[in-house]
Chains A and B, each alone.
Chain A
Amino acid sequence: MRSRPFLGAFVTPAALCAVALVAALLAILQYSVRMHVPGSLEPGDYTLANFVALLKPLYARVFFDTAWICLLTAFATLVAGYPVAYALVHTKRPFVKGLILIIVVTPLFLGEVVRTYSWIIVLGNTGFINSVLLMLGLIASPIQLLFTTIGVVLALVHVTLPVMVVMLAAALAHIDPAYERAAASLGASPLRAFLTVTLPLSTPGILAGVTTAFAWTFSAFATPQLIGGGRVNMVSNLVYQLGFASFNFPFAAALSVAGLVMTFALLGLIRLGTRRFENVTQH
């Protein structure tokens, strides 16, 4: 082995960060099995009551809704994102490429609050969509878009679309265009070539994109909070409510733990499903 200059100095700070992150997660785990003492921020004795309480229909319902919204968003984002990613990678004109890139990527860096706020203006009863439809005479009275699952999903798709496009484009950019040309030379129409060659080869990107979209949606707080307005609730909203309205940190911690478990379980299922799909296509 040659010497490894700077090894200790370069790894130690990162290791400390990892320790801090693990400590934060362990703190949550610890709180999740402690009793809530009303009126006190200090938790009480060890108990499993928090997890038992999670099974109440009220909370189970929130978990179910959250999973549904996450899956819907991830799927819609994939369908909407793929053509854009394809165009981004394959356009020859640098100006168009730069434009698509800026338009796609800007929302990624805008932050949840600004994006959510702009959707309130788009979806509200006196907002953009209703005003336009009323003006055109297509509707007689405003349709309810805010405080609905559809509204929340629309805004969430807007939040996750950039990262999906970036991940798909990264995968597509690394597929040698010679494969599609080879398929064409063998008689495949452009569509067939795309469906039989490019699409299967981009599976890793699809997987990465769906996984990230799912995790981001699950993590979203301001969007369901403001657009859902209390009528569409996700796990994140419940955690915040319990923590900052009832100061029941142990139960908030238990919800977080359950949320983490659910995320990893669903991501594991998606991966498992894709692997099976890959096995099928390889025959």
Chain B
Amino acid sequence: MGSIALHTLPGRLARLSVVAVIGFLILPPLVVTIAAFNEKALLSFPPERLSLRWFARALTYEDFRAGFWNGLIVTLWASSIALAIGAAFAFALDRYEFRLKRTIETILLSSLIVPHFTIGLGFLIIAAQIGMARGFTVVVTAHVILVLPFVLRSVYVSLRNFDRRLEQAAESLGAPPARVLLTVTVPLLLPGLVSGWLLAAILSFNEFTASLFVTGQRTQTLPVAMYNYVREYADPSMAAISVLYIAATAALLTFANLYLGLGKVLNVEQPR
């Protein structure tokens, strides 16, 4: 274990606090899961009888279904566009000096700090000003800007760890720049690109606040549909869909950890 020995008092306290925090983190999803199987329409603990009826209702509820498909459309477009734009820009950031380099980078990264409701409101106003309907274009644009910093970071970290001599070797063997990019750089950056895309997709699919501002009835994504449901109904359908959500996310992340090394993606591995 860690450098602080565990048999000492501080060590024990540290371990205890870790366990407590982990418990704090998993308590809500755990409670939701139990609630989802409650047969009664009102939330109560512990459930008296178990049932799957809320899962059935969640899966057939029209707003959830529409929200899911809308969300999927937005997510696929937004994460793919963000990947292309972010990876290309990360490459330029890593390799070149150019005018406004730091300015563009700072602006793009600022979407991490600027509140989502501000960004949502801004795009809503723009759309209104140029007389644009609240269609997918606005939603996707807002999402691209919100997830771009994550793609940028993921690809940039991979590029930093990339041995440039591999590109030089390809060049010395007669490969022109475009072929170096396609045969050496992109294949070797693939894990970083995939994890960047995955990160962007998960974040986009879950984005709520900005979406609340820029989606309309027709483009409402799943989190927005869920929010509206919570405001109107109190039955455990929402718990059921939350459970599906939690399971899908945990599965995706476990996959990411196994095949891509989540620790590396998040930069929390100790360098050897």
Contact = CB atoms under 8 A, between A and B. Distances in A.
A141 interface: no
Interface in B27-51: 27-29, 31-32, 35, 42-46
A209 B124 CA distance: 30
A200 B250 CA distance: 34
B91 A121 contact: no
Interface size on B, as a range, is 35 or more
Contacts of B84: 13
A53 interface: no
B173 interface: no
B43 A161 contact: no
Contacts of B226: 113-114, 117
A228 interface: no
Interface string A218-254: 1111100010000000011001100100000100110
Contacts of B8: 190-191
B217 interface: no
B25 A161 contact: yes
Given A21-B110, A118-B29, A121-B35, A111 B206 contact: yes
B66 to A, nearest CB: 16
A101 B117 contact: no
B270 A236 contact: no
A112 B116 CA distance: 12
Interface in A98-128: 98, 100-107, 109-115, 117-122, 124, 126-128
Contacts, number: 301
Nearest to A101: B262
B43 A126 contact: yes
B183 interface: no
A11 B17 CA distance: 46
A102 B271 contact: no
A141 to B, nearest CB: 15
Interface in A179-210: 180-181, 184, 190-191, 193-194, 198
Nearest to A29: B122
A86 B14 contact: yes
A243 B213 contact: yes
B245 A114 contact: yes
A25 to B, nearest CB: 6
A120 B129 CA distance: 38
Interface stretch (B55-63, B140-148, B189-197): B140-148
Contacts of A106: 29, 246, 249-250, 253
B104 A11 contact: yes
Contacts of A184: 3
Q: Residue among A114, A184, A220 with the most chain B CB within 10 A?
A: A114
Given A81-B21, A115-B28, A219-B209, A236 B117 contact: yes
Contact of A191 (B4, B103, B206, B271): B4
Interface stretch (A44-52, A54-62, A166-174, A272-280): A166-174
Given A110-B206, A114-B246, A122-B31, A105 B262 contact: yes
Nearest to A169: B268
B18 interface: yes
Interface string B125-155: 1101100000000000100110010000000
Nearest to A239: B117
Contacts of B32: 114, 117-118, 121
Given A10-B92, A106-B246, A121-B35, A113 B117 contact: no
Contacts of B29: 106-107, 110, 118
A222 B96 contact: no
Contact of A112 (B86, B96, B112, B208): B208
Interface in B247-272: 249-250, 252-254, 257, 262-263, 266-271
Nearest to A120: B230
Nearest to A194: B4
Contacts of B206: 109-112, 114
B2 A87 contact: yes
Given A13-B89, A117-B226, A111 B208 contact: yes
A267 interface: yes
A27 B22 contact: no
A91 to B, nearest CB: 6
A190 B253 contact: no
B208 A113 contact: yes
8 contacts: A22-B107, A31-B125, A87-B2, A115-B28, A158-B25, A173-B270, A222-B208, A249-B121
Closest 5 CB pairs between A and B?
A: A24-B122, A111-B206, A90-B2, A131-B45, A118-B28
